[in-house]
Structure 1
């Protein structure tokens, strides 16, 4: 049995409770109010809802490029770098990124992995010695589902994914697809595939939002990557009013996969509350992938991020949720549990 003490951001509402968490066999047994001298802030560990870990091997290679030049298949700089990468170098680069993610409070990510079975196996190998469990959305043909946890499609325009969608349905695994990143033309075709997850939706309009709500499709947004690539800003307030919205950092080639940076950017740029942003970075991604984490509650997996509330950065903060979302950095991390 282990006790974790401090200010605990409990439940779906992240209600601050001064006290202790009782953890046994990796699960939360109880949350108890109690006197404590601990100044730690205890919150759910992060779930990064959209990554491309493969391009860890080419960090910053796309600086100054457009979306198509940077990441569009099959001839973007990203895909050329992936094709040229030695497998051992690719695995080592992804492993370094996963270690960084763990150090900065992330315990799982929903990764779109290129290169089919080969790519999915490489990511499994990279994650085998790191305490971050990627949920892998594989690519290419449906055979990747023998290795991956679901299928991740590049986009519906000029691409046929009916076979992969049918294979996901047969196996009971999720089908995810990019939509509405450069423009709105691929959103209706993506929704026609009845996806389990849409990524980006920067150019979502009222007619798309109504379909999203009717079909109960969650969305992963990546605000910093959208800014880097110059495609615009997702209508996050509108998205939140229609469905579950989760937060991702997108391509490692474009951005450091830090949920601290993504939360602060989102809270500053968009009409969202700190609690909404924190849920986007924790519970929402876990919910989309069916992971037993993202919320501090009895019976749940004890995947926790413990911050030093007395650090020079966080001391004197009057609201722990605001402090976590807008102010906290990797330097404030005391430990990651679970």
Structure 2
């Protein structure tokens, strides 16, 4: 039996606001119908958080004043010492709470760079059990973790060559992502030599890097709030958007709340980009990187929807619905999160 979600629907790749309803059948969007409705709800595609490290959930706001290397560099950054010392059940509970928070805030999936080898992969699987959010898990440190997960998430080309890991990941037909250009530009070229499926950060990408990224058609995941907190600079989002597909992530839970609302607002107000571009970064672009059939409200997509209360005290009176969703909306405006998938 089809179900309907009514309100102002942000339809298609341009997020055109139309009055009507989304028709859902067997977990998939069957139609988007323009029709008169009494609903003041705003129906958006659910978010895809394109870069997370949620194992850090046990250490929120730890390490104030430390450099990026002191905080997270393997193997002896503060984060890695805390992860090694933590009880597995504590890690799992922390990750589950972060996943639950993301789900309640309208996130359908995240691309998780998962520390801890195969055990780390198993921990996040346990953390996500029974939740509707879908972590796309990229194992780290070993090829065994890659085979146990959805792919491989490399720390950076200055840490190791990753040639063997890249080749095994390619042979397995899985996703390969790598950090690049976070501290400086020295690891961007070597990362590109690996022909990754996507790059993370690119704070220090220059014109030559951008041209090569465009030629190779490699998407990027950017995390502006994290880069600001760690004082490494800010990614050139406008230039990246001119050269490739750009997705939005929240990075380490240790440093930032995994809220896509906060990441969107920060990005929209910091850069000369449109609200539609930012919403696309938070939804469709991340879904494309992860190979998921969501991120847009259009026929044939999985019905992963975020419903906002357009009559909340925060959103009532908005003259530009898309701009209000990106720059103003928050978790308190969420009325429903429907994360259905086709069978």
TM-score range, shorter chain: over 0.9
Alignment of 1:281-296 (within 5 A): 281-296=282-297
Cα distance in 2 between the residues matched to 1:203 and 1:305:
34
**Cα deviation per residue 1:51-104 (whole Å; 9 max; x = unaligned)?**
001111111112221100111111111000000010001000000000000010
> 2:147·2:172 contact (CA, 8 Å) conserved in 1?
no
Alpha-carbon offset, residue 146 of structure 1: 2.4
1:308 maps to which residue? 309
2:21 maps to 1:20? yes
CA gap of 1:151–1:317, structure 2 versus 1, over 3 A, is same
> 2:48·2:108 contact (CA, 8 Å) conserved in 1?
yes
Unaligned runs of 5+ in 2: none
1:184 maps to which residue? 185
Cα distance in 2 between the residues matched to 1:109 and 1:206:
29
Alpha-carbon offset, residue 308 of structure 1: 0.2
Alpha-carbon offset, residue 284 of structure 1: 0.2
2:246 maps to 1:264? no
1:319 maps to which residue? 320
Q: TM-score scaled to structure 2, two decimals?
A: 0.98
1:34 maps to which residue? 35
**Count of aligned pairs between the two proteins:** 338
1:166 maps to which residue? 167
Bigger CA drift: 62-71 or 290-299?
A: 62-71
Q: Secondary structure at the match of 2:307?
A: strand
Q: Secondary structure at the match of 1:241?
A: helix
2:4 maps to 1:3? yes
Cα distance in 1 between the residues matched to 2:108 and 2:159:
35
Q: TM-score scaled to structure 1, two decimals?
A: 0.99
1:118 maps to which residue? 119
Cα distance in 1 between the residues matched to 2:219 and 2:163:
20
Task: List structure 1 segments (4+ residues) > 2 angstroms apart after TM superposition.
Answer: none
**Cα deviation per residue 1:308-330 (whole Å; 9 max; x = unaligned)?**
00000000000110000000010
**Cα deviation per residue 1:158-209 (whole Å; 9 max; x = unaligned)?**
4121110000111111211000000101100110111111000000000100
